[in-house]
Amino acid sequence: MKKYISIGEMSKINNISIQALRHYDKIGLLKPSYIDENSKYRYYAIDQIPYVDVIKSLKYMGLSLEEIRSIVLESESLEELLIKLEEQKNLIDKKIKELKNIKSALSYKIHNIKEGITRKDFGSVYVKRMEERKYVYIPLENGKNDLTNDDSVILALRNVGLILEKENIIEGCIGVTSVIEENKIIYEDIFILIEEISSIYNHKNIKVIPSGEYLCVLYRGVETNSENYYKKLLKFIEENNYKVDDKYYEISLISGIATVNPDDYIVEIQILIT
């Protein structure tokens, strides 16, 4: 049996690139057993093959080459290895949580976009069952009756986004709460819906949208269109003798997060039937 194998054979046996083996040599992680003085060809000993398995295994677990180097070359104790592996597991758990949040946000956006594409009942009032929802909010200063061209509204929304960013939470649907006073729409809070799994669920800037049946109306476009749809809701409530809460929720199912074309925005106005 051969005492040494070439770098090409080492690469083939271990399913690892020659470039990677050269890099491991350069950083001192896995040096060839023998280098021919004339040809400068690298040769590895057969008993070095298991070291490649160790490197590949630790690399697969997400450890850096520097961490692997200290394990392989500095003969760390099992206790030290255990600490490193537990730290890596904690990092992976954190990443899994982040990926779950991303997947949830993607699923939510896909659902809303599909619904927006297929819905044909814009402008019609309908009843919809809703489960309890929670949102992160910032109050709008002194209430607003117009959300367009108002820098304070943009800044308030950015502040909500900052709360979520600090907790590594993907933003959900954007919305506003409103009441009607003296036949005027007064906007109170701007908010972003959050998932129930969120780590921010007990934050001080959290409010609850109760479960129940809601009267809803869907419209397409920017907020300047909303007044006509509030009127449709109010007319429907009066004509059908519904008793409702005094707080409206105006939620963007498709907004600037999903499209740059304001004509594609889809907004649902919701009010709880009491």
9 occurs within a structural domain: yes
Of 26-30, 105-109, 233-237, 267-271, least confident by mean pLDDT is 105-109
**CA-CA distances (angstroms) from residue 48 to 10, 14, 29?**
9, 11, 12
Q: Given pLDDT bands bounded at 50, 70 and 90, which one contains residue 126?
A: very high
Which residue range(s) make up the domain with 68?
Answer: 4-76
Same domain for 42 and 130?
no
Same domain for 65 and 137?
no
Same domain for 175 and 256?
yes
32 occurs within a structural domain: yes
Query: How much is the pLDDT for 230?
Result: 92
Q: Residues 74-81: what's their mean pLDDT?
A: 75
Same domain for 63 and 109?
no
pLDDT one-digit tens code per residue, 180-194: 988 888 888 888 887
8: domain CATH number is 1.10.1660.10
Which domain-ending residue is among 76, 93, 113?
76
The number of residues in the chain equals 274
Which domain-ending residue is among 23, 57, 76?
76
* pTM flag (> 0.75): no
Same domain for 71 and 111?
no
83 occurs within a structural domain: no
Query: How much is the pLDDT for 166?
Result: 66
182 occurs within a structural domain: yes
Same domain for 54 and 114?
no
Same domain for 129 and 31?
no
Question: Domain tally for the chain?
Answer: 2
Which domain-ending residue is among 59, 76, 93?
76
Instruction: Calculate helix-pair angle for 18-26, 7-14, nearest 10 degrees.
Output: 110
90 occurs within a structural domain: no
Nearest by Cα to 219 from 270, 149, 147: 270
Same domain for 115 and 60?
no
175: domain CATH number is 3.20.80.10
Amino acid (one-letter) located at 198: S
| 168 pLDDT more than 70 | no
82 occurs within a structural domain: no
246 occurs within a structural domain: yes
191 occurs within a structural domain: yes
Q: Given pLDDT bands bounded at 50, 70 and 90, which one contains residue 85?
A: confident
Same domain for 156 and 52?
no
Same domain for 256 and 136?
yes
